[in-house]
Structure 1
Amino acid sequence: MLINIITFTVGLLGVGLVAFGAWLILPAAGYITAGGFCLLWSWLASQAAARMVQAAPPTDEGEDR
């Protein structure tokens, strides 16, 4: 459990530093970089959610017995 929190925190810090570095070069580049990372995160999260739904075992809800 702790390794998941540490990994997420380090990843979030890395994204922030990359976006901040791009912002130092050109402020608009920082916003574009941060937005790109947000889009990537959203896509990856939706893919993970789809895999979780697909891997879930079927339920017996709604069946008449």
Structure 2
Amino acid sequence: MLINFITFTVGLLGVGLVAFGAWLVLPAAGYIVAGSFCLFWSWLASKAAAQANQPPPVTKNEEDS
């Protein structure tokens, strides 16, 4: 449980630092990088949710009965 929290926190900190670094180079780049990470996170979350909600596969024995 603790490792999940640490991993999430380090990942969030990394995203913030990358976006801040891009913003230091060019403010518009910081917003683009932050938005890209948000889109990527949303895609990963929806992909994980879709996989978690799939019904179990039907086996041959269940089809016959």
TM over 0.5: yes
User: Residue 47 of structure 1 aligns with which residue?
Assistant: 47
**4+ runs of 1 displaced by more than 6 Å?**
none
- Residues matched between the structures, number: 57
**Unaligned runs of at least 5 residues, structure 2:** 58-65
How far residue 55 of structure 1 moved from its aligned partner, in angstroms, is 5.2
Q: Deviations over 1:3-54 (max 9, x none)?
A: 0000000000000000000000000000000000000000000000001001
Counterpart-to-counterpart distance in 2, 1:42 and 1:32: 15
Normalising to structure 2: TM-score of the pair?
Answer: 0.83
What aligned pairs does 1:1-65 form with structure 2 within 5 A after superposition?
A: 1-54=1-54
| Pairwise CA RMSD | 1.5
